A and B are shown apart, each in its own frame.
Chain A
Amino acid sequence: MNFSNIILIPLIPLAVFLLLGIFNQKIKPSVSGYIGVFGLLASTILSFHTAYNYFFVNASESGAYQTFVEKTVWMNFTDTLRIDMGVLIDPISVMMLIVVSIVSLMVHIYSRGYMKGDDGYTKFFAFLSLFSFSMYGLVLATNLFQIYIFWELVGVSSYLLIGYYYTKESAVAAAKKAFIVTRFADLGFLIGILIVGYYTGTYDFETLNNPEGSAILNWASTSFMGLSVLTWALILIFIGGAGKSAMFPLHIWLPDAMEGPTPVSALIHAATMVVAGVYLVARLFPMYYFVEDGFALNIVAFVGAFSSLFAAIIAITQTDIKRVLAFSTMSQLGYMMLALGVSGYDGHEGLGYMASMFHLFTHAMFKALLFLGAGSVIHAVHSNYLKDMGGLRKYMPITNITFLIAALAIAGVPPFAGFFSKDEILVAAFEHNKLIYFIGVFVAGLTAFYMFRIYFGIFWGKDTKYEHKPQESPISMTFPLMVLALLSIVGGFIPFSKYVTVDKAGFEAHLNYPLAAVAVGVGLLGIVLAWVFYKKENDLSDKFANFFGPFYKWTSDKFYFDEIYLFVTKKILFKRVAAPIAKFDKKYVDGTMVGIGNTTVLASEKIKGMQSGKVQDYAFAFIAGVVILAIIFIYLWTN
């Protein structure tokens, strides 16, 4: 394994970030666009090279893929408890390298067209490169602390990119919300890391994940309130992952994060950053599976399933197309989490794990495509809302076809990519927990329905009269759409189970025809319903919505979770907890300091009076001083 090449993968975007950041004002925008794209292109080529080497050239004799680690000690606590910086190469990290590279490269090319003419063009590419660097570092991390460091870096990049339109108040608020919610979740993550480090004596992934290692074998040694401490640690780490992956109830930041430019939404909030939580659980999967017989894993499954259902219901009623896509992302991430949750460990038992990673891969492709397509539409129509769109198929053919391909993929229609990955997830769920299976099927139907609702709403539906005739986007924007569409079509045929599995030995996955038929049927049902409601302009959808009455309003207001959070933070935390503490600080702590200052001033006023200008007082001091000195030196100084 040529580690010097692998190290270059994150370092090239870092160099681009520093270059564009330092010379921000001096580089012409077109040049910075090229620098960004070529930097990512180099990283992409290196990623593909690494993947080719890992999966094909270095395929080992025993049939299992080996883990390659190269690390250096960064901070030493004890012999085993260290923080290293290094590179970990195993199937999922190589797969993530490919995903991040492809999507990031496509977003870079797309941004050259989308952000053209914007003032902060160079800054945008600098931030995109910073994000790419952080994401690469995250997937290549060798230990818990390293992943935490890059986790935070990714969060910072997300904050910078969401708040890119910094003059817009809503964008600034959304950036703050995203950062604060994920930071709050990361508190749990950090506590979990510390517990793991304390009780197992190591942060290193290889040591922790070893099924015969002391970390896993001794999980029952210390207990706290009925559960092993390691279970608590894993639940806390999952909370961190849930924050980044927008699982319920830490999902509130993801819809608001759509305030950022659309390429940002495509890169960060669809394909790469939000899957960091899934990646974290997958990285620690042996611990999740073996500790306390998978107690934490059950929690993962149910949280994933519930988030998936919750998001799908809300997505049906949203009118901003980016919000629909955001909730769709949350729903699909729920799928990935629940697939991990129902997974086993050996061979075919590990179907859920494999399906989750496969869905991560395909979802990145078609969700990025959906976002970029939506961006293309928004760029042409200058509005985010469904009511301002309609009949765009006549004006934007390429966007129409690619969006359709992506919608078919996410709905799970064969032979597009989403069908294969979603099917594997449903098979794994069926074999493990029927309730989760039924939730999954229902959500599949809802997914098809809301996705085609917006497809028909944008490209068919009513014939809106536009003030400026919408034009197809330039080639810099349509080229990535076409590449991603191609990947959405052929991506499903990759035999993922041969490459990415839990125990790193491939297995053969077969298509389970009855369950596949159920999934496809449900998807087609959703498409048909959407066709009926939305393809031609009619008011069937409004009548249907009124049938549900107040429930419809609750759903379209996202079940008021934002309001609940705002209430708790503003009325309770700020007013009752933070404000009294602030008052105490101001009155007593500050008061003490000011009091010390005042005392000094008073003392100096008194001392000042000694220089009164009266000669007689001086003479008195003189005489008294002489007498005292005489007494001391003649009588008291016994030397």
Chain B
Amino acid sequence: MIAGISIYEILTVTSILFFVGVYGFITRKNLISILISVELILNASAINFVVINKYLYPDMLEGVLFSIFIIAVAAAETALAVSIIINLYRQISSVEVKDVETMKY
């Protein structure tokens, strides 16, 4: 644990990061920007796991390992998302959100 910092402050920081990511996800108009916001969300949750592990269960390692897996999955997901964006760009020459709204009523 970090000397002098209570768990509450760290959790506050991660919550703020999480909601900034949510805000970005809903507000942005570019697909890549949305991807960036998703990264923020994932990272915020990863810190959460780690901090809870360190502060409440220091002799167990589940939180750390879970965060490693989160990072791995995030990497895979980002790679796939980028490939989809590229394919889409080839079809419609645009990465705006408003051009991919065809699956509606």
A and B in direct contact, judged by CB atoms within 8 A: yes
The interface-forming segment of A187-195, A438-446, A616-624 is A616-624
Contact in complex: B101, A614 (CB < 8 Å)? yes
Contact of B26 among A608, A609, A616 (CB under 8 A): A616
Closest to B23 in A: A623
Which residues of chain A in 582-636 are interfacial with respect to chain B, using CB atoms and an 8 Å cutoff? 608-609, 611-616, 619-620, 623
Whether A620 pairs with B104 at a CB distance below 8 angstroms is: no
The answer to whether A612 touches B26, judged by C-beta atoms less than 8 angstroms apart, is no
Interchain CA distance A616-B24 in the complex, whole Å: 10
Contact A613 B26 (CB under 8 A): no
For the complex formed, measure the closest distance between the CB of B74 and the CB atoms of chain A, giving whole angstroms: 18
Main secondary structure of the interface of B (DSSP, over half): helix
Q: Which residue of A lies closest to B25 (CB)?
A: A619
CB distance from B83 to the nearest CB of A (A): 18
Indicate the member of B97, B102, B104 with the most A CB atoms within 10 Å: B104
CB distance from B3 to the nearest CB of A (A): 32
A620 to B103, CA, bound (A): 17
Q: Is B8 an interface residue (CB 8 A)?
A: no
User: Judging by beta carbons under 8 Å apart, are B97 and A612 in contact?
Assistant: no
Provide the residues of chain B in CB contact with A615, threshold 8 Å. 97
User: Interface size of B by Cβ–Cβ distance < 8 Å?
Assistant: 12
Give 1 or 0 for each of B75-105: 1 = CB within 8 Å of chain A CB. 0000000000000000000000110011111
Q: Are A613 and B97 in contact (CB under 8 A)?
A: no
A616 to B97, CA, bound (A): 9
A522 to chain B: closest CB distance in Å? Answer: 92
Asked if A611 contacts B104 (CB within 8 A), the reply is yes
CB–CB B102/A619 < 8 A? no
Using an 8 Å CB-CB cutoff, how does the interface string of B3-20 with A read, 1 for contact, 0 for none?
000000000000000000
**Least distance between A616 CB and chain B CB atoms (Å):** 5
- Contact among A612, A616, A619, A623 with B104 in the assembled complex (CB-CB below 8 Å): A612
A623 pairs with B102, CB closer than 8 A: no
Q: Which residues of B contact A614 (CB under 8 A)?
A: 97-98, 101, 104
State how many angstroms separate the Cβ of A478 from the closest Cβ of chain B.
82
Q: B22 on the interface (CB 8 Å rule)?
A: yes
Interchain CA distance A611-B34 in the complex, whole Å: 20
Partner of B105, one of A608, A616, A623: A608
Nearest-neighbour CB distance to chain A for B71, whole angstroms, equals 23
* Contact yes or no, B26 A623, CB < 8 A: yes
Check A611/B105 contact, CB under 8 A, given A616-B25, A616-B26, A623-B26: yes
Main secondary structure of the interface of A (DSSP, over half): helix
Cβ distance B103 to chain A, nearest Cβ, rounded Å: 5
- On whether the beta carbons of B22 and A612 are closer than 8 Å, the reply is no
A508 vs B22: C-alpha distance when bound (angstroms): 116
Question: Which residue in chain A gives the minimum CB-CB distance to B103?
Answer: A613
Minimum CB distance partner of B102 in chain A = A613
A interface residues, how many (CB within 8 angstroms): 11
Tell me how far the C-beta of A120 lies from the nearest C-beta in chain B, rounded to whole angstroms: 59
Chain A residues near B34 (CB-CB < 8 A): 616
Q: Which residues of B contact A616 (CB under 8 A)?
A: 25-27, 34, 97
The smallest beta-carbon distance between B37 and chain A, in angstroms, is 10
Q: Cβ of A619: which chain B residues have Cβ within 8 Å of it?
A: 22, 25-26
Residues of A within 8 Å of B101, CB to CB, are 612-614
CB distance from A288 to the nearest CB of B (A): 76
CA distance A623 to B26 in the complex (A): 10
List, in ascending order, chain B residues with CB within 8 A of A609's CB: 105
State in angstroms the CA–CA spacing of A615 and B22 once bound together: 13
> In whole Å, how far is B2's beta carbon from the nearest beta carbon of chain A?
28
Chain A positions within 8 Å of B97 at CB level: 614-616
CB distance from A126 to the nearest CB of B (A): 60
CA distance A614 to B26 in the complex (A): 10
Instruction: Report B40-78 CB contacts with A as 1/0, cut-off 8 Å.
Output: 000000000000000000000000000000000000000
CA distance A313 to B29 in the complex (A): 98
For the complex formed, measure the closest distance between the CB of B65 and the CB atoms of chain A, giving whole angstroms: 27
**B103 engages A623 (CB within 8 Å):** no
Contacts of A608 in B (CB 8 A): 105
Residues from chain B with a CB closer than 8 A to the CB of A612 are 101, 104-105
Q: Kindly report which residue of chain B lies nearest to residue A607, judged by CB atoms.
A: B105
Minimal beta-carbon separation of B96 from chain A (angstroms): 11
Q: How distant is the Cα of A614 from the Cα of B103 in the complex, in angstroms?
A: 8
Separation of A612 and B104 alpha carbons in the complex (Å): 5
Distance in angstroms between the alpha carbons of A85 and B19 in the assembled complex = 85
Contacts of A620 in B (CB 8 A): 26
Report how far A493 CA is from B84 CA in the complex, Å.
115
How far in angstroms is the closest Cβ of chain B from A631?
15
In angstroms, Cα B97 to Cα A612, docked, is 12
Q: Which residues of A contact B102 (CB under 8 A)?
A: 613
Distance (Å) between the CB of A582 and the closest chain B CB? 40
Contacts of B27 in A (CB 8 A): 616
The answer to whether A613 and B104 touch across the interface, beta carbons within 8 angstroms, is yes
Complex CA gap A609/B101 in Å reads: 12
Interface set of A (CB-CB < 8 Å, partner B): 608-609, 611-616, 619-620, 623
Q: List 13 A-B contacts (CB under 8 A).
A: A608-B105, A612-B105, A613-B101, A613-B102, A613-B105, A614-B97, A616-B27, A616-B34, A619-B22, A619-B25, A619-B26, A620-B26, A623-B26
A-B pairs with the 6 shortest C-beta distances?
Answer: A613-B104, A613-B101, A608-B105, A620-B26, A613-B103, A611-B105
Q: A613-B103, A623-B26 are in contact. List 16 more A-B contacts (CB 8 A).
A: A608-B105, A611-B105, A612-B101, A612-B104, A613-B101, A613-B104, A614-B97, A614-B98, A614-B101, A616-B25, A616-B27, A619-B22, A619-B25, A619-B26, A620-B26, A623-B22
